[in-house]
Chains A and B, each alone.
Chain A
Amino acid sequence: MKENFFRSMTWLHTWVGLLVCWLLFLIFFAGTLSFFKDEISFWAKPEIHQIRHQDHRVASQAKQINDVFADLQQKAPNSLSWRINMPDSRNPVLSYGYAEPKQPGQRRAPFNYTHIDPNTLEPVPEPRDTKGGGFFYRLHFDLHYIDVFTARILVCLASMFMLVALVTGVVIHKRIFKDMFSFRRNKGSRSWLDAHNVSSVLALPFHIMITYTGIITLIFMLFPYPAETVYEEGLSQMFNEALPVNKRAAPTDEHRPMVAINQVLDQIYTKYPNADISHVFVRNANTASSQIVVYLATAKEVVDNGPRYLFNGVTGQIDAQSGEDWSASAQFYDSMTALHSGRLAEPLLRWLYFLCGVAGCAMIATGCMMWAKRLRERMKPEQSAHRGLKLVETLNLATLMGLPFATCAFFIANRLLPIELAARADKEVLAFFLAWLFIAVLALFGRTQSHWRLAAWLNAVACFSIPLINAFTTEGNWISYLLTQQWALFGIDSAFICAGLMFIVQSRKIPSHDNVKEKGNLFKNRQLKEQQG
C-alpha cells in the first residue's frame, strides 16, 4: 500500500510537472522579472534617468498636487478623467494627465500625460514609447497574442498543476531534510535531481505561497458562480459593494466648480498626519457628478490596496472609503494579492523575492531536463529517440534558452529602435518574440550538446551587450550608475553581467564532442590497462 502510494505520487509529480513545465517556466520567469517592474520601466526610459529622488518627498506632496490641479484646470477643465501619479521610492517622476475625447472605434479614451521633475517642477522630455516592465507583468498572466480570458484560464490551470506538483514533490522527497545542503556534482541525472531538490527546498515556503496566492488572485475567473448567483449584476456588483470607492458616478453636463483640493487634502492629513499619497484621480471634472479619489501608499503592511477615499468633487465630503472596514474575506483576498504581487516589498525583500523566483525557475528548468536526461541514460547506444523525447528536448532548449535570449532582445530593442518609430512599444515586443522564435528554430534543427552550447554563447553575448549598448546610446553607464548611486539602473546592468557570466560558465560546463571522445578514450585506456595488469 505504502509503496503503491509512493509510486502513484511519483507518477503524478512527473506528469503534472512535465505537461505544463514550459508554460510554468514562462509564468515564473516573467513573474520574477515583474518584481522589478518599476525599475525595468525606469531603465527603459533614459529620458528620465537624470531625475533624482526627492529628499522630502512626502512633505512636498500637498504643494505638488495643488500645482498639478491648477495646471489641469487650465488644460482640460471638462475632461472625464484626470490622473495624478505621485513619485515614490521606485519612480522619481511626477506624471499627470487627462483623458481626451474618445474617437469612434476606440475602447478606451486616450490619455495625454505630462511628466515633470518633482525637484524643479519643470517638464521633462517625453519618454520613448515602451512597455518597459509592464510587458513582463502582463506576460506573466495574460501571455501574449492570445485572448486574455483564455490566457488567464491557462495560467490558472498551470498554477493548479504546479500546486499538485509541489505537494506530491514534498511527499516523494524522502530525504527532504537529510539532503537539504547536498549537491553532488558530475553525477549525471543524480546531479540534476540534486539541483531540482535544492532549488525546490530552499524556497519551498515561497513556492507554495506564490502558487497558492497566484490561484487566489484569479479565483473569481475560475470560480465566479457564487458571486453570479448572489448578485444580479454578477462580479461587477460584488466588487462595487466590496470597494465602494470604485463606484463611478454617471457623467452629467451640469457645470459645477470643483472644491479646492486643499479642502480634500486637509481631511486626509487630519486622519493621517504623515500620509504618503500615491495617486489622485478625478472623474467628471467640474460637473455636478465630479468625484475625487485619493489613494494612500500601503507602507509595509501586508495589504495590496492602501486606504482609499472617495470625495464628492463639488462639496468635498467623503462619500466612501476603503481599507478600514473591510470584511475578513475581503482582507484575506487583499492580503493574498499583496503577498503574490510583492508590491509592498522594499529593496531587501524585493531581492529576496527575486532570489526565490530564480530558484523557482531553476526548479522548473531542472525538472524539465531531468525527464529527458533519465530517458536518454536508459536508452541503449543503438536505440533512437522516440518522438515524445525529441519533442521534450526541443521544447526544453527552445524555452529554457529562448526566454532569456528573448528578454535580452527586448532590452536591446529598447535602446536601438529609432525613437520616432510608429508603434515602437509593439516593435520591442515583436523583437522579443522573434528572438524566441530564432532559438526555437535552432532547437528544431538539433538538441545536441553543441546546440545547447551555441545557445548559451548567444545568451552570454546578448547579456553582455546590454550594458555596452546602454553605455553607447545613453549618457550613463554601469560605472557612472555606481558612482551616482542610481541603484535601480546599476542593479539591472549588474544582473545582465551576472547572467552573462553564468551563461559562459554553462557553455564551458557542457561537454564538447572532443571532450566526450577524450573521456571515452581515457576510460577505454584505463580498462585496457586493468585487463593487461
Chain B
Amino acid sequence: MMELLQFSLCFLAFNCFALAKFNHFRDVFKKKLTEKQRYRFLTIGWITILLSLGLSVMSEGGYGALLFCGYMALSVLMLMILYSFTVSWVKHISAINVSVLVLSGLSVMIF
C-alpha cells in the first residue's frame, strides 16, 4: 500500500505540473488558466513530488530512490498518453488519483 501511496503522490504531482501549462489546462477545462491557478498547481505539484520522494527514500532507502525514478517515468508516460490521445479522461483519472491517494494514505496510517 505504501508503494501505491508513493506512486499516487508522484502521479498527482506531474498531473499538477501538466495542468499548470496553459495549453493542457485549456484542453481539459476549456477555459484560460489564471496566474493564481498556475501558482497553486505548481505549489501542489512540488509539495506532492517531494512527499513522494521523501516517503520512497524513508521507507526503502536507496532502493526507494530507484523506485521513485520509475514512478516518475510511469507517471509521465501515462500523462503523455492521457493529454495527447484521451484528454477528456483527465478529469476522471484525476478524481480516481486523488481517491486512491486518500485511501492508500489512510491505509498506511491505520495499518
In the assembled complex, B73 has its CB within 8 A of some CB on chain A: yes
Residues from chain A with a CB closer than 8 A to the CB of B69 are 203, 205-206, 209, 352, 356
In the assembled complex, B74 has its CB within 8 A of some CB on chain A: yes
In the assembled complex, A510 has its CB within 8 A of some CB on chain B: no
In the assembled complex, A348 has its CB within 8 A of some CB on chain B: yes
B84, A181: Cβ atoms under 8 Å? yes
A201, B14: Cα distance in complex, Å: 13
Minimum distance in angstroms from A359 CB to a CB of chain B: 6
Minimum distance in angstroms from A339 CB to a CB of chain B: 7
Minimum distance in angstroms from B73 CB to a CB of chain A: 4
Within 8 A of B (CB), among A274-313: 300-302
3 interchain residue pairs of minimum CB distance: A352-B70, A302-B62, A202-B76
Q: List 24 A-B contacts (CB under 8 A).
A: A177-B17, A178-B21, A181-B14, A181-B76, A182-B84, A183-B84, A185-B84, A185-B85, A202-B77, A205-B69, A205-B72, A300-B60, A302-B61, A302-B62, A335-B62, A339-B66, A345-B66, A348-B3, A348-B67, A348-B70, A349-B66, A352-B66, A355-B74, A356-B69
A349, B67: Cβ atoms under 8 Å? yes
**Closest residue of A by beta carbon distance from B81:** A183
In the assembled complex, B63 has its CB within 8 A of some CB on chain A: yes
**Closest residue of A by beta carbon distance from B19:** A181
Minimum distance in angstroms from A21 CB to a CB of chain B: 21
Of the candidates B24, B63, B71, which one forms a contact with A181 in the assembled complex, judged by CB atoms under 8 Å apart?
B24
Minimum distance in angstroms from B3 CB to a CB of chain A: 6
B67, A352: Cβ atoms under 8 Å? yes
Residues from chain A with a CB closer than 8 A to the CB of B63 are 300-302, 344, 349
A81, B10: Cα distance in complex, Å: 50
Residues from chain A with a CB closer than 8 A to the CB of B74 are 352, 355
B73, A355: Cβ atoms under 8 Å? yes
Chain B: how many interface residues by the 8 Å CB criterion? Answer: 26
Mark B residues whose CB is within 8 Å of A: 3, 14, 17-18, 21, 23-24, 60-63, 66-67, 69-74, 76-77, 79-80, 83-85
> Number of A-B pairs whose CB atoms are under 8 Å?
78
Minimum distance in angstroms from B93 CB to a CB of chain A: 13
Q: A300-B60, A301-B63, A348-B67 are in contact. Are A356 and B73 (CB under 8 A)?
A: yes
Most buried by B among A335, A344, A348, A349: A349
**Closest residue of B by beta carbon distance from A183:** B84
A181, B18: Cβ atoms under 8 Å? yes
A106, B25: Cα distance in complex, Å: 68
Residues from chain B with a CB closer than 8 A to the CB of A178 are 21
Minimum distance in angstroms from B4 CB to a CB of chain A: 10
Residues from chain A with a CB closer than 8 A to the CB of B61 are 300-302
Most buried by A among B61, B67, B69, B85: B69
Residues from chain B with a CB closer than 8 A to the CB of A352 are 66-67, 69-71, 73-74
Residues from chain B with a CB closer than 8 A to the CB of A375 are none
B70, A353: Cβ atoms under 8 Å? yes
Minimum distance in angstroms from B19 CB to a CB of chain A: 10
In the assembled complex, A502 has its CB within 8 A of some CB on chain B: no
In the assembled complex, A441 has its CB within 8 A of some CB on chain B: no
Residues from chain B with a CB closer than 8 A to the CB of A180 are 17-18, 76, 80
A177, B14: Cα distance in complex, Å: 11
A372, B85: Cα distance in complex, Å: 26
A383, B11: Cα distance in complex, Å: 48
A198, B80: Cβ atoms under 8 Å? yes
